[in-house]
Amino acid sequence: MSNFFLGRLMLDLDGTTLTQEENELLLNPHVGGVILFARNISSRQQVQELCEEIRKINPKLLIAVDQEGGRVQRLKEGYTILPTMQRLSAFLNSDSDKNFSFATDLGWLMASEVIASGLDISFAPVLDLDDSRSSVIGDRSISDNPKQVIDIASAFIEGMNQAGMEAIGKHFPGHGGIFADSHYTFSQDIRSLSELESHDLLPFDALKLQLGGIMTAHISFTNIDKEIATFSKFWLQDILRNKMGFTGIIFSDDLSMKGSDYVGGIEAKVGKALESGCNMVLICNDRPAAIEAINFLEKKKISQSQKVSRLKASEEISWADLKNDARRIDIIDKLNIIEKLKL
């Protein structure tokens, strides 16, 4: 499927099947994507049927999920349970050969199972560094060591690409250095730009050519720019686009998170996110806000984006073939061994 235009809003769904309201919303030209959460998932078969239902209504939509591994893994029943990225890192570091090919295998496995279920992308990998401060990041991070994050994430992304999935790195420019959780509060990081450039920004810069997209952090680096990164032209234009040369898709993190409330209501949030440089904004767990955002996008005549369609899965994978795939079977066997190790 060639590039085509998509709306700038990604929204969520209420349950495991579509409601009449959702049938209508998914046809709105300002809606470009859907993200699935645990409440939308009961089994592998049901996920496939839900994705087919979405595709029948609007085949162009980008369908996403958070399938990082560990505690952030929405697809569970009928899927391979993935370790946390930190546990993967510990295993790879215990390998005397320091061979990161198993990270490639895991990236391929995760992406293959997601695509086989009818989705396009997982918002992965997490590129935040774990500085033992952020509980919301914690073991979702590969490591506190930038080089280790770069090496393992690069291998993981290679596997995702082999399966036909683009990678989305998060949360730019880094969420691992503070105690606050931007889901619940306005979050500030007081470090300088030079500190970030020598630490948190390194994985994003090193992997920029491998990433199809980047998701922003709702964090204000107050000694650099008062705005949170999601609403900051400095971070998204001056640093990410111009200095680092990133050409992929920029997603906002969920605009219903409390860390973005300081600018006002949903119209202000959507307006600032798009103005700062986000290509697509997420609004989850707040249907009235999503509808208000659609009305705002229509009122302001916000154009659709052709760039976002680049993230559609480039391969078709069937569960019938994947189930008996020798590579998948071998990876699962190795995961069972890792599970028994005390790392």
Instruction: Report residue 342's pLDDT band, with 50, 70 and 90 as the boundaries.
Output: low
Residue 180 has pLDDT above 80, yes or no: no
Residue 240 has pLDDT above 90, yes or no: yes
Burial class (CB in 10 A: 0-12, 13-18, 19+), 247: exposed
Residue 132 has pLDDT above 80, yes or no: no
Q: Round to whole Å and give the CA distance between 333 and 279.
A: 40
Reported as a single tens digit per residue, the pLDDT across 62-82 is 999 999 999 999 999 999 999
pLDDT, average across residues 196-210: 98
Residue 1 has pLDDT above 60, yes or no: no
**200 given a catalytic annotation:** no
Q: Provide, rounded to the nearest whole percent, the portion of the chain with pLDDT above 90.
A: 87
pLDDT, average across residues 175-196: 88
CB atoms within 10 A of CB 329: 11
Residue 232 has pLDDT above 90, yes or no: yes
Q: Is-contact 332 80, C-beta < 8 A?
A: yes
pLDDT, average across residues 291-299: 98
Catalytic residue among 12, 66, 128, 253: 253
Catalytic residue among 131, 144, 181, 183: 183
Q: Round to whole Å and give the CA distance between 229 and 235.
A: 6
For the chain, the average pLDDT equals: 94
DSSP symbol at 228: B
**218 given a catalytic annotation:** no
Of the CA atoms within 13 Å of residue 314, those in its CB half-sphere come to 13
- The whole model's pTM is what? 0.96
Reported as a single tens digit per residue, the pLDDT across 264-277 is 999 999 999 999 99
Q: Identify the pLDDT of residue 136.
A: 82
Largest CA distance in the chain: 59
Q: Identify the pLDDT of residue 97.
A: 61
Reported as a single tens digit per residue, the pLDDT across 84-130 is 999 999 888 877 565 799 999 999 999 999 999 999 999 999 999 98
Q: Identify the pLDDT of residue 94.
A: 79
Instruction: Report residue 2's pLDDT band, with 50, 70 and 90 as the boundaries.
Output: low
Q: Identify the pLDDT of residue 98.
A: 59
Q: Provide, rounded to the nearest whole percent, the portion of the chain with pLDDT above 70.
A: 97
